[in-house]
Structure 1
């Protein structure tokens, strides 16, 4: 028998035009920062935007956005996402209260289904999902529960990171899940050129973001984040992506 939450999830997301999970397969590559900044940039271009932090073990989008009031969101026939600037924001942190979440196996799947089934997104042009690292339950559940997602994958120039990303790409391809491309983050002058290796995976190399020494001081302040070189590089990449807003 089908879990009734699956039908409810489809209803909750029926008015979301574009579902963009942002994933990496590996931690520490700047995925949450790119997901949060992408939501900020997109919302400033008069799109209706949502951001869901789906990392059960290490949610961080609320820190990046300066949304550290962890009072539970308002309820009205479901849960209404918090308003963070022009973004509708929901996170597992409202349940974990920023404490460790020792979940595994079926508990992870249940938590994701519960979060997706109770959240009322309304009408959105874009819903960005900050995916947890790895290719475990969270990623597999997102693929199963979301209709027509298009993954955006983040890697650093490190060949170690790229090997992990390769596994994620292979999994998504085997499951016939669309991949929008790979963004190369934290590039420095001595970084190896990974563009050819990315393209050999059969995925577009969308562009690169240079390491920004000033970015750490901007975290928690969306206006300052938007003024960084990091965001400038990200917006340049967006201008080349058909399904994300351009200048």
Structure 2
């Protein structure tokens, strides 16, 4: 006679499966749901913290193997789902936004907006509900880079974001003609950003990616003070000048109690026609910076002509060339960012006073 299989025995086996990012077992984390037992067959759901979970394949395999090791179990079916948790309390005026991720840089020209656009798209491609807020009001490049045009609509006195490639996005670039400059003093800039945060009908979002202007100015201060930021991603090149300015950005976010999710080193190298890597802007700067501040190096992205051309033509690389190495790199970055956001969801966000 085969031994009886109980839900308690199954859960006990699953307690041996650890999430590598959250450092706890899947039962304690509340991932295991809907356990059903039919003779020698066991089925259950693993509800992960994000559809972009970089460890989803590993967790599924380990969970199946753990339950198959239970005496009497002959077949295991694992259903993977995801529910993005909110990191800290949602802001009162935007309760449907679960997590806010700021993409920032110490200086211009490091590819911050390119990273923000492709990161948001890569997250959306996993099935997450994603918005993209272009807060770089003096250089609103997101509409051009993502190929979105037209004036956002209005519904019940609220702005309807533009939809493109599965994203909901807003930018001052939709309201200002391309040949004109957005000339805004500090209070007007702050008012515009608040309007984009609280007067746009975002709907339910798992992630709102915010493309900040470079530097440490009014936009960063306004966003950090009016909405709880889940965390910031700092974009740099390996160049010493860029690294110098990133340190100032990191210091600003720490002063504002905004968690730093990690560093993205862009334009890390150029791949020559014969396959060698040429470190045009230096080498290892992003890694050294991450080690200095004790945060992850989320990605090292090579300079890629197709990525640049995609931004110029409104066809981001993760959409135009989803099977390319560069698109794969952005999807890995999205997984890393989502994992760091999930870690933040386990602890409350600080209150800025």
**1:80 aligned onto 2:154:** no
Q: Which has the larger radius of gyration?
A: 2
Q: Are the counterparts in 1 of residues 100 and 208 from structure 2 also a CA contact under 8 Å?
A: yes
Shift of 1:243: 4.0
**1:166 aligned onto 2:247:** yes
More strand by share: 2
Name the counterpart of 2:108. 27
Q: Are the counterparts in 2 of residues 12 and 119 from structure 1 also a CA contact under 8 Å?
A: no
Shift of 1:20: 0.4
More divergent stretch after superposition (188-197 vs 17-26): 188-197
Shift of 1:34: 0.9
Query: Are the structure 2 counterparts of residues 13 and 226 from structure 1 closer, same or farther at C-alpha, using a change threshold of 3 Å?
Result: farther
Shift of 1:147: 1.5
- Partners of 1:153 and 1:224 lie apart in 2 by 25
Name the counterpart of 2:284. 193
Alignment of 1:1-247 (within 5 A): 10-67=91-148, 69-98=149-178, 99-188=180-269, 189-190=278-279, 191-194=282-285, 195-219=287-311, 220-222=314-316, 223-241=319-337, 242-243=339-340
Query: Are the structure 2 counterparts of residues 233 and 111 from structure 1 closer, same or farther at C-alpha, using a change threshold of 3 Å?
Result: same
Shift of 1:70: 2.7
User: For each residue in 1:52-79, what CA deviation from the matched residue of structure 2 results, as whole angstroms up to 9, or x when unmatched?
Assistant: 1111111011111111x23233333311
- Partners of 1:74 and 1:84 lie apart in 2 by 17
SS in 1 for 2:266: strand
- Partners of 2:222 and 2:324 lie apart in 1 by 34
SS in 2 for 1:96: coil
Query: Are the structure 2 counterparts of residues 80 and 12 from structure 1 closer, same or farther at C-alpha, using a change threshold of 3 Å?
Result: farther
**Aligned residues: CA RMSD:** 2.0
Q: Are the counterparts in 2 of residues 12 and 121 from structure 1 also a CA contact under 8 Å?
A: no
Q: Are the counterparts in 1 of residues 130 and 168 from structure 2 also a CA contact under 8 Å?
A: yes
Q: Are the counterparts in 1 of residues 266 and 302 from structure 2 also a CA contact under 8 Å?
A: yes
- Which ranges of structure 2 fall in alignment gaps of 5 or more residues? 1-89, 270-277, 343-353
Query: Are the structure 2 counterparts of residues 94 and 238 from structure 1 closer, same or farther at C-alpha, using a change threshold of 3 Å?
Result: closer
- Partners of 2:197 and 2:322 lie apart in 1 by 29
Q: Are the counterparts in 2 of residues 214 and 228 from structure 1 also a CA contact under 8 Å?
A: no
Query: Are the structure 2 counterparts of residues 60 and 227 from structure 1 closer, same or farther at C-alpha, using a change threshold of 3 Å?
Result: farther
- Partners of 2:326 and 2:144 lie apart in 1 by 17
Name the counterpart of 1:4. none
- Partners of 1:108 and 1:160 lie apart in 2 by 27
SS in 1 for 2:191: helix
Shift of 1:172: 1.0
Which aligned segments of 4 or more residues in structure 1 are displaced greater than 4 angstroms?
A: none
Query: Are the structure 2 counterparts of residues 184 and 15 from structure 1 closer, same or farther at C-alpha, using a change threshold of 3 Å?
Result: same
Query: Are the structure 2 counterparts of residues 237 and 187 from structure 1 closer, same or farther at C-alpha, using a change threshold of 3 Å?
Result: same
Shift of 1:203: 2.6
User: For each residue in 1:153-203, what CA deviation from the matched residue of structure 2 results, as whole angstroms up to 9, or x when unmatched?
Assistant: 111111100110100001111222111001100111322212123311233
Q: Are the counterparts in 2 of residues 22 and 154 from structure 1 also a CA contact under 8 Å?
A: yes
